[in-house]
Structure 1
Amino acid sequence: MNTASAQRLAGERWFLGHGLPAVLRPGTLVRRVWPRSAPALAAFAVVMAVSILVVTVTGKHTIDIDGTPTRTEWFVLGMVVLVLPAAAAVGWLVSRITSAGQRSAVSTAAGAVAAVSTVFGGPSASIFVDAVVETIVIVGILLCTATGIGSISGWAARMMLANLASVGSLLLRALPVMLLTVLVFFNGPVWTMAATVSRARMWLALWFLFLIAASFLVSSTMNRVRPILDPQAKQPEDAEKLVGTPFEAMPDRPSRVPLSRTERLNVSVVLALSQIIQVVTVALVTGLLFFVFGLILISPELLAALTNGGAPDGQLLGMTLPVPQALIHITMFLTALTFMYLAARAVGDKEYRQEFLDPLIEDLRLTLVARDRYRTATVAR
């Protein structure tokens, strides 16, 4: 492989890592789909391996734990808590593999684990149903990779993990609403509502609140971003900032070729997701704090008093767990309130914009300069 081809491949990986698949030349995304899907397939294989373990231990294809858990049920609860972090960790480790051959081997091994799980540990007792479900999942992963959705999803996951480092600063901004929501947490009528409302209605209410807050957050962000999409937005110091990237030696052009509609959509999605993910990360951490607080504080007697005899067990991701349904709903509701509050602060807080939004916009502007160099280097292809 010559130097130009190596630079082009490195540049394509760079754009995929930054969640901008629309920048790539037509046909690039459909190449090497099997090895590029290795991180997602490996994460799916971890989930299926845990499913095999749970079915082997319990003899059941569903998780139904009510009352006081037995030793086996405590083990299953531990697996439920650890499976997603373990899958994320494995996916991240596989994403660091640069060899296409090794990635293909990982994808093949993940497919083998999925095939074994159809017999020994799928989501249902029917092998045919398990085979259909897992085939749909694997095909879906491959399609997401081939369309660029997987690139954006992987970037979003990395962004969420990176945002954990700034949770402390953002939690300080959320402190007023956290103190206010303590009043909601101990409000009897709210607990009664949480105990009686259906999960479908709760999700409908949460999506309503989320869409309102997200629309203001995204519109404010896009107003600040439009100037860098201008073809004349380049700056002389951009060349120095690209040192050490695959685009360092690529030729540049004096002005930017206007972005296509697909590229503009891709940039808009990345900007919107970056802001939403940052706020959602803090809201989820806040909700987790309230959830643990409720597990510590809510006794059966207090639960009965707050909910007028609400159920001590709840449904989560299709599983019956020894956690009050009302506590699950209260946590969801408080998480949504925190998200709305932080979204409002993000729109009007100058300090927040300087600390979080301005670096993001600068990084995007530099990414568009890299896009110009990539397009110039591949114009003859």
Structure 2
Amino acid sequence: MTTDFRRAEAERWFLRNGLPYVLRPGTLVRRVVSRSAPAQAAFALVMLSSILVVAVTGEHTIDIDGTPTRTEWFVLFIVVLVLPAATLTGWLTNRVESVPRRRLIALASVGIALLGAVFGGPSVLVFVDIVLDVVIIGLILLCTATGVGAILGWAARMTLTNLASIGALMLRALPVMLLTVLVFFNSPVWTMASTIGRGRLWLALLFLFAIAAVFLVSNTMHRVRPILDPDAKRDEDAKTLAGTPFEDLPDRPRRVPLSAAERLNVVYVVALSQLVQVLTVAVATGMIFMVFGLILISPELLDAWTNGGPSDGQVFGMTLPIPDALIQMTMFLTALTFMYLAARAVGDAEYRAQFLDPLLDDLRRTLVARDRYRTYTAGNPRS
């Protein structure tokens, strides 16, 4: 195995694990185009869906109120599928190992996105859509070059992984789900959801999320801090590197202290994994109430609970045949579930044993890999 190949494998391992700032200076700016391919491909698919919507409806905005027509049902189908399809496209692109192929995919995706700006886009002005596309493409490249994209990509993969364990977490959310049923059938709460502005609601929800996140992150940092100590290395940690690019690399007996960027990166990834895990279940719970409301709420009941509130609502600038009060009620219940699960994550020993302890073990393995990578690259500087 050549030195360059082994180093490239090690660097890809850190990027996949959301730790770009462990890499040697200058590494992140290499192969930016090929590394941005998953995000570029996902964005290209979103723009393809925009072309399809404009071709079907003749409009650059989605405005569906009342009873949808057959064409509008087709547009709703596209809206529902576009995010999962874009995620799948990015995941499939990320599985491509060849750098030239990834570069080709990235360039082709940029071309498709620009075509989407010409024949689709959110505005009737082609110039505005092209400028918006160029800005988004530039942001993707910037995030890739700064390592932010690697962290976001890791967070997306973590979210998909959490879906596999969502059943166990949903059991922990069951008490709050039963409690929020009382909130769901509370007429004054529906009146509030119907009358409060979306901006004010977002401020209130962000306030609740921030309180829960502070408790969750502070508890996580308390448990992570001892692991970051230079003397925290254990002999058994090296065995966990079997099957990784670091298995046969030389080690050092004592860890070189992490830089400020490395420490921030490690703490951020561990805390984000906790937040994403809890948020995944909270959003899934909110979607259950959304579907429940669509099945249960009749026009007469909606009128009685909201004092004549609208039967359609706004989602990301699109008008959809979903009551605005139901959308805002779902957001509120999602925030309540998030706060409850965050509190359980801090105080529940079973939760820590099942979800947090494996994450901390993985952190130990990552830090040993970091030590070996640093030792190896110090002896094999890139020319």
So what's the TM-score if we normalise by structure 1? 0.99
Aligned length: 380
Identify the residue that residue 282 of structure 1 maps to in structure 2. 281
Q: Distance in 2 between matches of 1:33 and 1:49?
A: 24
Identify the residue that residue 244 of structure 1 maps to in structure 2. 243
Identify the residue that residue 374 of structure 1 maps to in structure 2. 373
Identify the residue that residue 103 of structure 1 maps to in structure 2. 102
TM-superposed CA distance for 1:227, in Å, is: 1.0
Identify the residue that residue 34 of structure 1 maps to in structure 2. 33
TM-superposed CA distance for 1:118, in Å, is: 1.8
* Structural mapping, 1:202-213, within 5 Å: 202-213=201-212
* Structural mapping, 1:114-133, within 5 Å: 114-133=113-132
TM-superposed CA distance for 1:167, in Å, is: 0.8
Secondary structure of the corresponding residue to residue 235 of structure 2: coil
TM-superposed CA distance for 1:323, in Å, is: 0.4
Identify the residue that residue 260 of structure 2 maps to in structure 1. 261
Amino acid in the other structure paired with 2:23? L
1:136 aligns with 2:135: yes
Q: Distance in 2 between matches of 1:235 and 1:216?
A: 29
Amino acid in the other structure paired with 2:293? G
Q: Distance in 2 between matches of 1:328 and 1:99?
A: 43
Q: Distance in 2 between matches of 1:6 and 1:232?
A: 31
38-47 or 162-171, which moves further after superposition?
162-171
Identify the residue that residue 179 of structure 1 maps to in structure 2. 178
CA contact (8 A) 2:238 2:365 kept: no
1:314 aligns with 2:325: no
* Percent of aligned pairs sharing the same letter: 69
Identify the residue that residue 364 of structure 1 maps to in structure 2. 363
Amino acid in the other structure paired with 1:290? F
334-343 or 266-275, which moves further after superposition?
266-275
TM-superposed CA distance for 1:239, in Å, is: 2.3
Secondary structure of the corresponding residue to residue 378 of structure 2: coil
Secondary structure of the corresponding residue to residue 242 of structure 2: coil
So what's the TM-score if we normalise by structure 2? 0.98
Q: Distance in 1 between matches of 2:262 and 2:235?
A: 24
Identify the residue that residue 158 of structure 1 maps to in structure 2. 157
TM-superposed CA distance for 1:238, in Å, is: 2.2
Amino acid in the other structure paired with 1:68? T
Displacement over 2 Å in runs of 4+: none
Identify the residue that residue 49 of structure 2 maps to in structure 1. 50
* Deviation by residue 1:104-155 (Cα, 9 ceiling, x = unmatched): 1101110110111121111111111001100000000000000000000000
Long gaps (5+) in structure 2:
none
Q: Distance in 1 between matches of 2:123 and 2:202?
A: 25
Q: Distance in 1 between matches of 2:240 and 2:339?
A: 36
* Deviation by residue 1:267-294 (Cα, 9 ceiling, x = unmatched): 1110110000000000000000000000
Identify the residue that residue 7 of structure 1 maps to in structure 2. 6
Secondary structure of the corresponding residue to residue 320 of structure 1: strand
